[in-house]
Structure 1
């Protein structure tokens, strides 16, 4: 009787162990597939957003003009890359990834294009978790709010006009939602400041550059 009970326990334990191994394997495969799918979705969104900021008629090779850089000032934890729109051998616009960490529901991943004259070429949102019907108006399909950045620039870090109207600035906020547009305005302002601080390198065509990514040794 006792022997049969021990055998049953062993079989049960073995079954549980096999089930745990199979389950762990399924979870690992699912996580890997999900991670790859997310990365593919982000890459697709990036490619689409690039040419919304700088149309192919300006530089149809924009996606290939990738410039490595390191920019913790833009809330980028890891090395990243910017894109250069090159016209007649000269960089006309630089598009940089930026994260607005202070969105209502978490970080907002952006692309911010800055022209060589320091005006904004365009802003696009790559990913966010903002509230549907309120904060999601940062999506071009929901509103044209992002177009308000085009052609604008800031006079410096102390430019009080570079803010939403509720804070005394020039940019509209959304009805019932101020945190989201404020986060995007602030992140775009940081992009302009970064561009100014590293302008010489950012405006040197990537094909002519050597050395480390900007800020790599800082």
Structure 2
């Protein structure tokens, strides 16, 4: 029996690796195709549940997550890489905007937010979507971490606020209109001022955002 040559062994190895690669790639592609849509639906549902906390579905009748525009880098909102705006409509008319924003000056850095603003300029609510604030101290800006479950700190923004002057969009320690937790002012100040900037931006660009 002839002994296999080095070239023959190399060819067999290469063919085996090729077959393995093709089978593995097909397996991975199949898995991706099977899970892609469920993952996308899950992410969409999770995002909508978050928006529900600041904009009730009774306030609009369009497919909110499909009525979205992308903002370019927008320094006014802290969006160095741009962001998204979801547009709520009722009977075809503007109802509210849900806008991404970033407070760059949290105690531990960036605090990412979504803010709902009614078409008439009233801030409807805000939620923190990502932060690194100190556990047990500054993380009360996130209602999931706030010990006051009945009236979490961030629920202050769920009130008529369209007529507040710019100077009022900060904490009371700085002469503003919003409460804060003693010993943890920086986080609250950063979020409050960011929400104020969103309110101002929405008022200034309302028509363009809804077009």
TM-score (norm 2): 0.70
SS in structure 2 of the partner of residue 160 of structure 1: helix
Q: Which protein is bigger by CA-based radius of gyration?
A: 2
Q: Give the alignment partner of residue 98 of structure 1, picking from 86, 96, 101.
A: 101
Name the residue aligned to 1:201. 208
SS in structure 1 of the partner of residue 112 of structure 2: strand
SS in structure 1 of the partner of residue 81 of structure 2: coil
- Given that residues 64 and 86 in structure 2 are in contact (C-alpha distance below 8 angstroms), is that contact kept between their aligned partners in structure 1? yes
Counterpart CA distance in 2 for 1:65 and 1:87 is 12
Counterpart CA distance in 2 for 1:186 and 1:64 is 29
- Given that residues 63 and 83 in structure 1 are in contact (C-alpha distance below 8 angstroms), is that contact kept between their aligned partners in structure 2? yes
Counterpart CA distance in 1 for 2:117 and 2:45 is 21
Q: How does 1:65-214 map to 2 (within 5 A)?
A: 65-70=67-72, 71-141=74-144, 142=146, 143=148, 144-150=152-158, 151-156=160-165, 159-204=166-211
Q: How many residues align?
A: 163
Q: How does 1:45-64 map to 2 (within 5 A)?
A: 46-59=47-60, 61-64=63-66
- Report the alpha carbon displacement of residue 79 of structure 1 after superposing the two structures with TM: 3.1
- Given that residues 53 and 113 in structure 1 are in contact (C-alpha distance below 8 angstroms), is that contact kept between their aligned partners in structure 2? yes
Runs of 4+ in structure 1 deviating by more than 6 angstroms, as ranges, are 40-44
Counterpart CA distance in 1 for 2:79 and 2:132 is 18
- Report the alpha carbon displacement of residue 90 of structure 1 after superposing the two structures with TM: 0.9
Residue 169 and residue 45 in structure 1: after superposition, are their counterparts in 2 closer, same or farther (change >3 A)? farther
- Given that residues 46 and 126 in structure 1 are in contact (C-alpha distance below 8 angstroms), is that contact kept between their aligned partners in structure 2? no
- Given that residues 83 and 101 in structure 2 are in contact (C-alpha distance below 8 angstroms), is that contact kept between their aligned partners in structure 1? no
- Report the alpha carbon displacement of residue 76 of structure 1 after superposing the two structures with TM: 0.8
Counterpart CA distance in 2 for 1:175 and 1:106 is 20
5+ residue gaps, structure 2: 1-39
- Report the alpha carbon displacement of residue 45 of structure 1 after superposing the two structures with TM: 5.6
Q: Deviations over 1:71-98 (max 9, x none)?
A: 2211112232200111110121101100
Q: RCO (CA 8 Å, sep 6+): is it higher in 1 or 2? A: 1
5+ residue gaps, structure 1: 1-39, 205-218
